[in-house]
Amino acid sequence: MVPSGTIAYETVIDYVPVRDGYVFEGWTDCPETMPAADIEVHGKMTRSEFQLIYRARGREVHTDTYAYGEPVVAADPVDMPGFVFLGWKDVPLEMPNHDMYIDGEYRFAAN
């Protein structure tokens, strides 16, 4: 929420709020300059989307897209001949405010 405030008559209204993980889309019914009377405007913010990029032995194998703060579900294991999949390393519980690489952990399969 943006606090209310005083803006002088005919001042350009150019305030842009900032919120981590969101993109400001603009104001509704907002004049370019402050009129002589009080006004109420509403802003629209949209959650940003980021990618989880999964790698298996250094190779990108899968990508998921999540909105900031959304719960993350780990991707299915990627089979690699001659290796046993141990799991994905450091999968977040919810999507952070940036793209992220997730590495698979493998060990050699015993013969």
Which pTM does this prediction carry? 0.76
User: DSSP 3-state assignment of 86?
Assistant: strand
Reference 13, options 38, 42, 34, 44; nearest CA is 34
Give residue-wise pLDDT tens across range 3-43: 567 888 899 988 889 999 999 999 998 899 999 998 888 99
Look at 1-10, 61-70, 77-86 and tell me which has the smallest mean pLDDT: 1-10
Mode of pairing for the β-strands spanning 83-89 and 100-108: antiparallel
What is the widest separation between alpha-carbon atoms in the chain? 82
For residue 21, the 8-state DSSP code is T
For residue 59, the 8-state DSSP code is E
For residue 43, the 8-state DSSP code is E
- The alpha helices in the chain, defined as continuous H runs, are none
Residue 2's pLDDT is 53
